[in-house]
Amino acid sequence: MADPLIGRNYTPLDHVAKVTGRARYAEDFRADGMLFCKLLLSPMPHARVRGIDTSAAEAMAGVRAIITADDLPDLEGAERALTMEPFYAGEPIVAVAAIDEVTAAAAVEAIELDLEPLPFVVNALDSLRPGGPTARTQGNVWGPPNPPGQAGPVPVQTLTWTAEDFASAADGQLPTGQHAEEWSYGDLDAGFAGAALVLDETFVVQSTGHHPMETRSAMAYWQNGKLYLHGSTQSVQRTVDGIARWVGIEPADVVLICEFTGGGFGSKGGGAVSMAIPAVLSRKANAPVMMRISREEESYIGRARTNMTGRAKIGFEKSGRITALDLYIVQDSGAYGPMGDFRSGGNAASLIYQPPAMRLRAVNVITNTPPRSQQRSPGPMQANGIIEPVMTKAAVRLGVDQVEIRRINSPEGKALYGAPLPDGSRRHITSAFIKEGLDRGSEMFNWAGRKARAGQRRGTKVRGVGVAVGPHGAGSIGFDGLMTIRPDGMLYVQSGVGNLGTHSMQDLARVAADVLDMPWEKVQVIWGDTSKGLPYSCLSVGSQTTHAMSRANHAGAMDARRKLKEVAAQDLGGAATDYEIGGERVYRRGAPGRGMSYAQAARRAIELGGAFDGHELPADIHAVTKAAASGLIGLGLMGVAKDTYPRDGDTYSFVIGFAEVEVDVETGKVTLVDYLGVGDVGTVINPRSLLAQINGGSCLGIAHALCQKLAYDPQYGLSLARRFHHSKPLTILDIPSRLQSVALDIADPETPVGARGVGEPPVGAGYGAVLNAIASAVGVDVFRRAPVTSDLILMSLEHGRRMHEPLQSHL
Amino acid sequence: MEPETDLKRAISRRTFIKGVIAAGAVASSSAYLFRGGGSLLGQVSAPGSVERLITLSVNGQARRVDVMKQETLATTLRYKLGLTGTKLGCDRAECGACTVLIDDVPHYACSVLTHTVRGRRVTTIEGLAGVDGTLHPVQQAVVDEQGFQCAFCLPGFVMAAVGFFKVNPDPTRDQLAHGISGNLCRCQDYDKILTSLMRGAEYLRRA
């Protein structure tokens, strides 16, 4: 066998297209007679559309089509691309297609909109106050999820806390009034009673816009009753159903083309509901329509992270071991939802801190702010923000080292986590090697040396060090692999996942190539166009792609390997088990001369037909894969299979972040001096990309600690962060010019390739590590919200006490 | 240079070109919007108007193009000349995805009016590689070091770096970071971007 491809760096197949500008993203496509679209956005945070007069706009030369929500299918209360009751300022109400954008924009200006203003709220806690405004006429809080088996939308309910709830909360503490959801296990009271130290702290985790560099622009046209859509999505095959639903057509009538995606970070998980706009406009105008989404529009419709105000009461033994954790989260789900970040956050907290007793209570509030979606580590990152300051403070109070307190609480092996199941048992993970990661990182980062200089003032500068564990779910199972070996001797791997820069789409083909001992030059990946036969794939979200699809491609390639041997046995005698593969040949064991090349085997497979060339398909594969495979019948020897490999436990990955900061106590400026991310993410498939994921994900967490956030004007309910400049994403000058990262490269025992996902765990690691480093420099009680901007630090240091309490607003 | 003569010819053909737009006919705030050729119809010339059919020097070629008075270079490149490697990532001058070289100096193409680059050399990402397809040393370095992730910001970063290397061919990593700090990467692949572009500077010095 040749050296495996897994574990080696390589040049991604599409990199030359990227560096030459030939890679085409959605807005780079053109079609004859292409019209341009502009949107009329709601100027109010909550209103009812009483009337729309488009007559003047329709009469304008060059205007070809105008649509409203009435042109879109009803989605049973779920978000649509256009609305008659805007729930946030910036929500699209009308879309116009015209011969150019200037004309479309002029037409938008000419539309008369009659809006009835309705009560609104942009702050979740304001909505919980007695007599507080509700974001919707039906209420302000999402009810708990429907019981299993019960379909339909989650109900909206009204929930307010009492004046006593607010009065009884101490200064700076989140009141804990009536909650909407709860789970618990263990004896909480006993845990606190037996604790050597109990801390109870409130923290405000901000919302941030996803803001991928490529906005959700899309271009659509129709041909022979089929919709062709050039869009930007994280998950190509899994976006088709969404488009069909949003437009109101059958999935079979959707062709999605998305070979390159300019980032998503969770905001384009299964595409974007706004894709319906150019599609429906194009149908009405009978011409292609390009919808360019501006950065400001992206700030409204482009999704954001759920913000949370969380309160964590934690009991500790003298050693630092946690005895009990009581977590209360008020989550802001924005205008639509419901979002489950607080649940994944609670699960993650129960995993990385392993409290013997824990309770999670939560209120999931609706506000009149832009819609949220999962953002890179949705939930676990926020939970780190809420809990890590408490861990840091406890370590200081108990005199325990910051690495040690995390080590002593960290999970090992098949650790239990999460809410109890109906039978009282709890779920467990497949594996964890956090202790190894903490040890490795402490050494690499020279933790002891840096810790010695933390807190010491030199001139106006003081340094601090921090460490945090970032967890996230990192794998799913049950998807299909599909590939062919063709008479040209090449392996063609069909890939239904997205291509958003992680290179997983290609890494996964290398998994198949290794199983078939195929040199990389002989591998073609077919991706990015749903008319090309893409198998049922996971959503490219939740760090699951590498795990899920490495299993699926392993299964598909094993199927091809078995068929190669069967074809050889048919022609050359003996049983399939008598054959081996290697050097692009299948041959009789011990007699390399008695065999045939892959190219010959592919030709024979086509002659033999049946299952060999895809005429017969396995019964257990998904209907999507069957349809995809049926387009590849007779092209060569087909490998097609569902991932049925066993898995004991749920797959989680971990990144441990180590940070050193320098704070200027006269200006409040925080400078990140050094950062190390250590990945416990399973077997490394593509080292360079994996380390880039650790660095890039850590940077998102660092941005949350230092600078990035969204803000709303409470008086008018308008966004104050409509541009990059206002929302302050991380620039190249906000981090050291070198970041360090390393992967443990320990295989996960519950998956054939050993690989787990990596995209998300570093976010919570970066967030927690930098927050903790700042606390180490300036004091553990100086801030209780993020980002930790200069004014927070300066105000608190000057007054000798914390000046921005969690329930105060901070713009 | 070629553009000079083309410019004169364009002016002499004024009567043929109906599309002369009145100054201020379109609000400047809408300059980032794309205006198509279709709306030429029915517009009349007016005092203070600007010639629309002009010649630009783009990637070493003289390109005749119909340009509105308020049109940005990014729009012209993307929608008139088919050079979609120049990306639009923000509404105006924040992200650098549209960075191109004008007479070897990096500019945000979203914030340059096309009419102002007549007689100047515009280079886009498509113009870096040789005509035989040989990658520019900085492009080759990005391939070799696998710089960037989603790569939507890549063309802007590479153009900014190529321009920066013309004034500082041997920068330190920190100097390079400052040199390309007008560009945003939301994958935040800054570490690998710096590594690949530092390799690019090395290739350039050897070339």
Instruction: Give the HSE-up count for residue A599: Cα atoms under 13 Å, Cβ half-sphere.
Output: 5
The residue from B103, B127, B151 where one domain ends is B127
What three-state secondary structure class fits A610?
coil
Q: What is the pLDDT of residues A423-474, one digit of tens each?
A: 999 999 999 999 999 999 999 999 999 999 999 999 999 999 999 999 999 9
Q: Is the dihedral of CA A402, A406, A409, A413 positive or negative?
A: negative
Same domain, B151 and B119: no
What is the H or E stretch that residue A369 is in?
none
Q: Which whole number is the average pLDDT over A483-503?
A: 97
Same domain, B117 and B182: no
The pLDDT value recorded for residue B81 is 97
**Closest partner residue to B91 among A27, A36, A295, by Cβ?**
A295
Q: Which whole number is the average pLDDT over A546-561?
A: 98
Phi, psi of A367 (to 5 degrees): -130, 165
A253 dihedral zone (left: phi>0; alpha: psi -120 to 50; beta): alpha
Q: Is residue B202 part of a domain?
A: yes
Residue A472 contacts residue A543 (beta carbons within 8 Å): yes
Q: What is the pLDDT of residues A735-784, one digit of tens each?
A: 999 999 999 999 999 999 999 999 999 999 999 999 999 999 999 999 99
Residue A140 DSSP label:
S
Distance set, CA A320 to CA A191, A350, A583, A771, A773 (Å): 13, 16, 56, 19, 19
The pLDDT value recorded for residue B2 is 41
**Closest partner residue to A99 among B38, B128, B191, by Cβ?**
B38
The pLDDT value recorded for residue A508 is 97
Report the greatest alpha carbon distance in chain A. Answer: 88
Tokens encoding A90: 């910036």
CA A179 to chain centre: 27
Q: What is the pLDDT of residues A117-149, one digit of tens each?
A: 999 999 999 999 999 999 999 999 999 888 888
How far is A102 from B35, CA to CA, in rounded Å? 6
Same domain, B81 and B33: yes
Q: What is the span of the domain harbouring residue B72?
A: 2-127
The pLDDT value recorded for residue B4 is 41
Q: Give residues with Cβ within 8 angstroms of A759, minimum separation 6.
A: A376, A502, A543, A693, A697
- List, as one string, the DSSP characters of A273-342: GGGHHHHHHHHHHTS-EEEPPPHHHHHHHS-BPPEEEEEEEEEE-TTS-EEEEEEEEEEE--SS----HH
How far is A481 from A196, CA to CA, in rounded Å? 53
The pLDDT value recorded for residue A344 is 97
The pLDDT value recorded for residue A153 is 87
Residue A396 contacts residue A464 (beta carbons within 8 Å): no
Would the pLDDT of B14 be above 90?
Answer: no
Q: How many degrees, rounded to 5, is the angle at CA A765 between CA A778 and CA B187?
A: 110
Q: Which residues, in sequence order, are bridge partners of residue A324?
A: A315
**Cβ under 8 Å to A: B residues 137-166:** 139, 142-144, 146, 148-155, 158
Q: What is the pLDDT of residues A372-400, one digit of tens each?
A: 999 999 999 999 999 999 999 999 999 99
**CA closest to B124 among chain A residues:** A21
Instruction: Give the closest-approach CA distance of A33 to chain B in angstroms.
Output: 10
Cβ burial of A300 (10 Å; 0-12, 13-18, 19+) is buried
The 3-class secondary structure across B157-197, one letter per residue, is: HHHHHHHHHHHCCCCCHHHHHHHCCCCCCCCCCHHHHHHHH
Residue A561 contacts residue A581 (beta carbons within 8 Å): yes
Would the pLDDT of B35 be above 90?
Answer: no
Give the residue from A499, A531, A75 showing the smallest Cα distance to A276. A75
Q: Using the beta-carbon criterion (under 8 Å), do B191 and A738 form an inter-chain contact?
A: yes
Q: What is the pLDDT of residues B111-163, one digit of tens each?
A: 999 999 999 999 999 999 999 999 999 999 999 999 999 999 999 999 999 99
Q: Using the beta-carbon criterion (under 8 Å), do A263 and B38 form an inter-chain contact?
A: no
Would the pLDDT of B199 be above 60?
Answer: yes
Q: Which whole number is the average pLDDT over B6-14?
A: 39
Same domain, B162 and B103: no
**Closest partner residue to A21 among B85, B94, B144, by Cβ?**
B85
Q: What is the pLDDT of residues A588-600, one digit of tens each?
A: 999 999 999 999 9
Residue B23's pLDDT band, with cuts at 50, 70 and 90, is very low
Measured from the Cβ of residue B169, the count of other Cβ atoms closer than 10 Å reads 11
- CATH number for the domain including B77? 3.10.20.30
Tokens encoding A618: 């396995």
Residue A28 contacts residue B98 (beta carbons within 8 Å): no
Same domain, B42 and B143: no
How far is A621 from A618, CA to CA, in rounded Å? 6
Q: Is residue B98 part of a domain?
A: yes
Phi, psi of A101 (to 5 degrees): -70, -35
Would the pLDDT of A417 be above 70?
Answer: yes
Would the pLDDT of A220 be above 60?
Answer: yes
Residue A170's pLDDT band, with cuts at 50, 70 and 90, is confident
Instruction: Give the closest-approach CA distance of A499 to chain B in angstroms.
Output: 8
Residue A3's pLDDT band, with cuts at 50, 70 and 90, is confident
Please tell me if the domain spanning A17-23+35-118+210-301 has the same topology as the one spanning A307-475+649-799. Answer: no
Mean per-residue pLDDT over chain A, rounded: 97
Q: Which residues, in sequence order, are bridge partners of residue A365?
A: A141, A332
The pLDDT value recorded for residue B18 is 33
CATH code linked to domain A307-475+649-799: 3.30.365.10
Give the residue from A142, A157, A136, A206 showing the smallest Cα distance to A368. A136
How far is A34 from A281, CA to CA, in rounded Å? 11
Q: Is residue B36 part of a domain?
A: yes
How far is A379 from A305, CA to CA, in rounded Å? 9
The pLDDT value recorded for residue B21 is 33
Task: Kindly list the residues from chain B whose CB atom is less than 8 angstroms away from the CB atom of residue A38.
Answer: 33
Residue A810's pLDDT band, with cuts at 50, 70 and 90, is confident
Percent of chain B with pLDDT over 70: 77
Distance set, CA A539 to CA A211, A263, A545, A745 (Å): 20, 15, 7, 25
Phi, psi of A687 (to 5 degrees): -55, -45
Same domain, B122 and B163: no
**A478-642: in CATH 3.30.365.10:** yes
Would the pLDDT of B190 be above 70?
Answer: yes
Task: Kindly list the residues from chain B whose CB atom is less than 8 angstroms away from the CB atom of residue A501.
Answer: 148-151, 187, 189
The pLDDT value recorded for residue B39 is 44
Task: Kindly list the residues from chain A whose CB atom is less than 8 angstroms away from the CB atom of residue B193.
Answer: 732
Total number of domains in chain B:
2
Q: Give residues with Cβ within 8 angstroms of A730, minimum separation 6.
A: A699, A700, A702, A703, A706, A707, A708, B188, B190
The pLDDT value recorded for residue B15 is 33
How far is A762 from A657, CA to CA, in rounded Å? 7
Percent of chain A with pLDDT over 70: 100
The pLDDT value recorded for residue B19 is 33
Phi, psi of A314 (to 5 degrees): -130, 135
- CATH number for the domain including B193? 1.10.150.120
What is the H or E stretch that residue A39 is in?
strand A35-41
Q: Touching check for B95 and chain A: CB below 8 Å?
A: yes
Same domain, B174 and B120: no
Q: Touching check for B203 and chain A: CB below 8 Å?
A: no
Instruction: Give the HSE-up count for residue A623: Cα atoms under 13 Å, Cβ half-sphere.
Output: 3
What is the H or E stretch that residue A205 is in?
strand A197-205
Residue A395 contacts residue A320 (beta carbons within 8 Å): yes
Same domain, B112 and B144: no
CA B186 to chain centre: 21
Would the pLDDT of B7 be above 50?
Answer: no
How far is A84 from A37, CA to CA, in rounded Å? 19
Tokens encoding A48: 């009812």
Tokens encoding A598: 């892959």
Q: What is the ipTM score, two decimals? A: 0.97
Q: Is residue B132 part of a domain?
A: no
Residue A663 contacts residue A774 (beta carbons within 8 Å): yes
The pLDDT value recorded for residue A147 is 86
Task: Kindly list the residues from chain B whose CB atom is less than 8 angstroms away from the CB atom of residue A733.
Answer: 177-178, 181
Same domain, B84 and B9: yes
Task: Kindly list the residues from chain A whose CB atom is less than 8 angstroms away from the CB atom of residue B176.
Answer: 737
The pLDDT value recorded for residue A506 is 96
Q: How many degrees, rounded to 5, is the angle at CA A650 between CA A647 and CA A651?
A: 90
Same domain, B151 and B169: yes
Q: Give residues with Cβ within 8 angstroms of A118, minimum separation 6.
A: A46, A47, A48, A85, A137
What three-state secondary structure class fits A797?
helix
Q: Using the beta-carbon criterion (under 8 Å), do A9 and B194 form an inter-chain contact?
A: no
Would the pLDDT of A510 be above 60?
Answer: yes
β-strand pairing of A670-680 with A652-664: antiparallel
The pLDDT value recorded for residue B33 is 73
What is the CATH architecture of A17-23+35-118+210-301? Answer: Alpha-Beta Complex (3.90)
Residue B120 DSSP label:
S
**Cβ under 8 Å to A: B residues 22-81:** 26, 30, 32-36, 38-39, 42, 78
Give the residue from A426, A411, A406, A408 showing the smallest Cα distance to A354. A411
Q: What is the pLDDT of residues A690-721, one digit of tens each?
A: 999 999 999 999 999 999 999 999 999 999 99
Give the residue from A141, A311, A92, A124 showing the smallest Cα distance to A712. A124
Task: Kindly list the residues from chain A whose CB atom is less than 8 angstroms away from the CB atom of residue B190.
Answer: 695, 699, 730, 732, 735, 739
The pLDDT value recorded for residue B44 is 46
Q: Touching check for B191 and chain A: CB below 8 Å?
A: yes
Q: What is the pLDDT of residues A277-307, one digit of tens each?
A: 999 999 999 999 999 999 999 999 999 999 9
How far is A690 from B146, CA to CA, in rounded Å? 12
The pLDDT value recorded for residue A2 is 76
Tokens encoding A435: 């202790």
The pLDDT value recorded for residue B32 is 61
Same domain, B51 and B32: yes
The pLDDT value recorded for residue B46 is 57
User: For chain A, which residues make up each domain, given as ranges?
Assistant: 17-23+35-118+210-301, 307-475+649-799, 478-642
